Structure formats: C-alpha cells, structure tokens
C-alpha cells in the first residue's frame, strides 16, 4: 500500500468529520440528543461504503459499476480498519498524562462512593453478560461463550476498547466479536445520552437533584446545543510549555506519548516472556500473549507521569494539550471503526446482539436508579449520572450528563469523577481485566469468570451500601 493512499485515507477522514459536524449543525434533533459529530461522520462513511451503498447498487443490478463497492477504494478501507488498534494506544497513554497523581488515601476519601458504584456497574455487566450468554445465547444461538464479555467491552469500554480488542477476538477464534463490540459501543453512546436526559428529567421532577429544581433548567442555549463555544468565552486549547525554536510544544507532547506507549510495550513483552518461562511452560496456559497493548500503554503513562512529577522541574507537560491529542485520536478512532463495521456480522447475529444490548441497558438503568442513592451518600443524583454515562460507552458522555445536571459545578461530582478514574480505568472500562477477560474465558471457560465477577460485584455493592451509604 502506497504512502499516498495512507495520506488520502486521513484526508477523507477529515472531510467525513467535517461533514458530520455540518450535519449536526443543520439538525436540531441531533443537537438535542447530543450525538457526537464523529458518530454522525462514522455512520455517513458506513452508509457510503460497501455494506450499504455497495449493496444497494448491487441489488439494483449495478454489480460492476463504480458504486458496487461503495465510494471508498478497498485500500482506503484497509487503512481505516487498521487505525482503531493504533489510536487506542494513544488514547489510553494520555489518560493520566498531565494529571497530578494523588495518593490512594486522597482518592478514597473524595471519590470512594463513586468508585464503589462505578465498579459495581462494570462487574455487573460481566455478571449479566455471561449469565445471558450461558442461559440463552450459547444454547439457543450457538454463540461463542466469549460473547459474555461483550457488554463490558462495548458499553463500559466504548469504541476504543472494542476496536482495541478486535485482534484478540480474532486470535482466539471469535472474529465476529470485534464487530459486535463496536456495534454495542455505538448503541451504548446513542442510548446513553437519550436515557441519560430522560433520567435527569425524571429525577428533577422527583426532587432528587440538589442543584436543579425545575426540568426547564436542563435546557442549554442554542450555541451549547450546536457544540459551539461563544466567542467571548473561548479559552486557549493548551499552554505553550517550550519555545517553538527549541521544540514545538505539540511535538514534545507526542514524544511523551511515544515514551508512555514504549514503556507499555516493554512491560507487555516482559510479562509475556515471564509467562513463557514460568507458569506457561508448567501449565500450558497462556493469557498475556493475547492481551492488547493499550492497557499497558495506560500504565506506561502513569509511570511516566510519576517520573515527571518528581524530575520535570520546568513542568513541560500540559494537560490541556494532552486532552486535545486524546480527543483527536478518539474522533479518528470512532469514525474509522464505524466506517469499517461489518453489518453482515451484526445481521448474522442480530438476535444475540439485541439481547446483549437490552441486558446492558437495563442493568445500567437499574444500577443508577436503585443503587446510586443507596451507595453515594451525598449528591448521588449528580455523581451517579456520570457513572451511568460512562458505563454506556464514553467518559465524555458521563461528563456531558454531569455538566447538564450541575452546570455551575456546585456539587463535588466532577472532582470525584476525575479521581474515581484513577481507581477505575486501570482495572475495568478498558483496563487490565477488560483486556484479560476474553483470554480468561477462552482458557478457563465462562463459569469461573462469572463467579469471580459476581464475587467482586457483591463486594462493591456491600462496600457501597454498608460503608459509604451509611455515612
């Protein structure tokens, strides 16, 4: 594949993202639902690709026409298909770069209830996902037992994790798992925001909110709905920490990301080597070789940040620049992942796909309505809605719902949500266990993983209700 074709693929991604933004600007319903432009662009590319436009052209008798394979050449689609697995490493490497890493005690004091509730939601997605797979999907639809992990990977992990796990699914003989996970992530974002707004309105009418007293206060102005920042309220996207004649600040931050990913790669290779010379040889059980790089890239970012906190006296790393790089990577990932989604795979597994989606949504709604007020002693409404949004597919969705529920940050929701990520992301929602869950089911079967997840879910429920809930 030529370098010019790779460059062309990125050019087209830019045009698709721009088209997604303009479609959103011209569609008030999409604005009110807060659908991201990257999601709109991804669907646009999917519709113009071989699985929709191509199939329509073939169905109309134009098998050998220019449209029979959609508007995009196969080489472009091949580049797009490879991008999610690359950009997920950048996203996870930047999760904690530029953040001050507090002590575990500080995190626990401020964010403990939110940690307990968020962990409960994540482990519950494993419990109910594996249960429905064991009881319904495998016996009646012959679905691979590894499908039990799809709800957590697609909903809690989101598009990034789903795309990053595609290679693992393929290596373990469940290639369709990657497309199903991306499909669930898409469903999660769509329904997460819609149900989130419904839950906010319902809660305010019930008097659950400590901040808003009238559902009309949920309405944002037209610029906010359109996703445009008012000219007088615009802020810098980041601080210039180095003089450009020495090194461009953006280049320096890319270099930091490269170091974080490099540390993660060395850690992963070290773990794989350790497994091969120890328990792997003795038991013939290999797990770490199937774990993707991105959760270790996150650990690499934490290690690098701890090093910089101690030795970077000039504080050359800026969190806002890291957030912009992370946002760009996420937009590219979402568009390319949805554009190359196989609708044929979802069509062949439509009933299991719908069942998994319904089970995941119902569990998240129940966990918010019935567990959040019992596990989070103060401002449960504002703090729990952030967990709900994240558990449906994106951290950004959780932040958006918290912003709507508490527009002036009168509650501790935003602060505790940020701290909660430090005790959440390294394990689930794209963390180490998320990456290991599929290899664990492959090696040991779904029942041991179900028991393990059920024990942890019960532990976090107990801790949330009987420790934090009584405060």
Question: What confidence score (pLDDT) does residue 58 get?
Answer: 76
Cβ atoms 155, 184 nearer than 8 A: yes
Percentage of residues in the chain having pLDDT higher than 70: 95
* 55: helix, strand or coil: helix
Residue given tokens 């005690």 in the structure block: 105
Residue pLDDT, tens place only, 129-172 = 999 999 999 999 999 999 999 999 999 988 888 888 988 999 99
- Residue 224 confidence (pLDDT): 66
Predicted local distance difference test score (pLDDT) of residue 456 = 96
Find the mean pLDDT for residues 187-215.
82
The predicted pLDDT at position 184 comes to: 93
Closest CA to 53 of 63, 68, 40: 68
Q: 430 pLDDT band (50/70/90 cuts)?
A: confident
Contacts of 339 (CB under 8 A, 6+ apart): 16, 42, 45, 46, 49, 72, 77, 80
pLDDT of residue 314: 87
| Cα–Cα nearest to 471, from 409, 107, 463, 415 | 463
pLDDT at 433: 92
Asked if residue 377 lies in contact with residue 468, where contact means CB atoms within 8 angstroms, the answer is yes
- The pLDDT score that the predictor gives to residue 226 is 67
Q: What is the pLDDT of residue 221?
A: 65
**Between residues 172 and 399, which one has the greater pLDDT?**
172
Phi, psi of 322 (to 5 degrees): -60, -40
Q: In angstroms, how far is CA 355 from the centroid of its own chain?
A: 21
Higher pLDDT, 464 or 275: 464
Helical spans, DSSP H, in 133-227: 138-141, 150-151, 158-164, 166-171, 176-206, 222-226
pLDDT for 277: 84
Residue 262 has pLDDT above 60, yes or no: yes
Q: What integer pLDDT is reported at residue 215 of this predicted model? A: 62
Give the Cα separation of 183 and 217 in Å (integer): 33
What pLDDT is attached to residue 244?
A: 87
Question: What is the spatial distance between Cα 466 and Cα 471, in angstroms, rounded to a whole number?
Answer: 9
Taking the model in full, what pTM does it have?
0.87
Q: Does 199 have pLDDT greater than 80?
A: yes
Which pLDDT tens digit goes with each residue over 74-100?
889 889 988 888 898 998 899 889 888
> pLDDT confidence of 400, banded at 50, 70, 90?
confident
Given a cut of 60, is residue 20 above it in pLDDT? yes
Which one of 206-210, 378-382, 456-460 scores highest in mean pLDDT? 456-460
Number of H helices, E strands in the chain: 24, 0
Higher pLDDT, 440 or 193: 440
Q: What's residue 395's pLDDT?
A: 73
Q: Could you give the dihedral angle defined by the CA atoms of residues 359, 417, 370 and 161, in that order, rounded to the nearest 10 degrees?
A: 10
Task: Tell which wins on pLDDT, 357 or 203.
Answer: 357
Q: What is the pLDDT of residues 27-86, one digit of tens each?
A: 888 877 777 888 899 989 999 988 888 888 777 777 777 777 778 888 898 899 888 888
pLDDT for 368 equals 94
Residue 155's H or E segment, with its range, is none
Residue 423, pLDDT above cutoff 90: no
C-alpha neighbours within 13 Å on the C-beta side of residue 377: 14
- pLDDT value at residue 373: 93
What's the mean per-residue pLDDT of the chain? 87
> For residue 378, with 0-12 CB atoms within 10 Å meaning exposed, 13-18 middle and 19 or more buried, which class applies?
middle
The three-class DSSP label of residue 407 is coil
| pLDDT digits 0-9 by tens, 116-133 | 999 999 999 999 999 999
- Mean pLDDT calculated for residue range 389-407: 80
Nearest-angstrom CA–CA distance, 261 and 138: 37
- The band of 265, judged by pLDDT with boundaries at 50, 70 and 90, is very high
pLDDT digits 0-9 by tens, 272-323: 898 888 877 777 667 778 788 888 898 999 999 999 999 988 889 998 999 8
User: Mean pLDDT lowest for which of 39-43, 355-359, 384-388, 411-415?
Assistant: 411-415
Rounded to 10 degrees, the C-alpha dihedral 98/100/104/110 comes to: -110
**Per-residue pLDDT at 425:** 83
Top mean-pLDDT range of 110-119, 125-134, 239-248: 125-134
Please write the tens of the pLDDT for every residue from 329-351. Answer: 988 988 998 888 888 888 889 99
What average pLDDT score do residues 192-212 get?
83
């Amino acid at each position: 594949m030529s370098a010019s074709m790779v460059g062309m693929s990125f050019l087209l991604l830019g045009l698709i993202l721009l088209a997604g933004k303009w479609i959103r600007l011209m569609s008030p319903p999409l604005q009110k639902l807060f659908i991201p432009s990257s999601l709109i662009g991804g669907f646009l590319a999917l519709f113009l690709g071989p699985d929709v436009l191509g199939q329509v052209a073939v169905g109309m008798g134009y098998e050998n026409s220019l449209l029979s394979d959609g508007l995009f050449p196969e080489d472009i689609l091949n580049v797009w298909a490879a991008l999610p697995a690359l950009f997920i490493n950048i996203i996870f490497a930047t999760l904690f770069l530029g953040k001050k890493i507090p002590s575990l005690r500080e995190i626990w004091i401020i964010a403990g209830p939110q940690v307990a509730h968020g962990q409960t939601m994540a482990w519950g997605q494993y419990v109910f996902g594996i249960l429905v797979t064991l009881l319904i999907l495998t016996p009646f639809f012959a679905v691979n037992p590894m499908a039990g992990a799809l709800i957590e990977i697609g909903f809690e992990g989101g598009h990034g994790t789903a795309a990053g796990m595609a290679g693992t699914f393929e290596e373990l003989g469940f290639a369709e798992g990657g497309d199903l996970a991306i499909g669930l992530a898409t469903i999660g974002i769509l329904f997460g925001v819609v149900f989130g707004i419904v839950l906010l309105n319902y809660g305010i009418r019930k008097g659950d909110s400590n901040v808003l007293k009238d559902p009309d206060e949920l309405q944002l102005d037209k610029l906010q709905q359109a996703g445009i920042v008012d000219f007088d309220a615009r802020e810098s996207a980041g601080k210039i920490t180095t003089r450009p004649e020495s090194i461009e600040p953006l280049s320096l931050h890319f270099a930091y990301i490269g170091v974080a990913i490099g540390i993660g790669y060395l850690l992963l290779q070290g773990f794989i080597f350790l497994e091969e010379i120890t328990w792997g040889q003795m038991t013939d059980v290999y797990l770490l070789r199937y774990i993707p790089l991105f959760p270790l890239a996150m650990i690499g970012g934490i290690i690098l940040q701890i090093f910089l906190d101690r030795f970077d006296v000039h504080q050359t790393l800026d969190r806002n620049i890291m957030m912009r790089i992370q946002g760009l990577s996420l937009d590219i990932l979402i568009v390319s992942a949805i554009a190359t989604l196989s609708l044929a795979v979802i069509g062949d597994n439509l009933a299991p796909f719908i069942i998994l989606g319904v089970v995941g949504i119902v569990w998240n709604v129940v966990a918010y309505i019935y567990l959040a007020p019992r596990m989070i002693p103060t401002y449960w409404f504002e703090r729990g809605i952030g967990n709900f949004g994240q558990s449906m597919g994106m951290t950004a969705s959780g932040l958006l719902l918290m912003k709507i529920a508490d527009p002036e940050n009168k509650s501790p929701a935003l602060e505790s949500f940020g701290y909660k990520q430090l005790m959440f992301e390294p394990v689930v929602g794209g963390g180490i266990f998320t990456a290991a869950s599929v290899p664990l089911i492959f090696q040991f079967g779904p029942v041991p993983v179900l028991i393990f997840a059920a024990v942890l879910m019960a532990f976090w429920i107990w801790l949330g209700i009987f420790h934090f809930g009584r405060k």
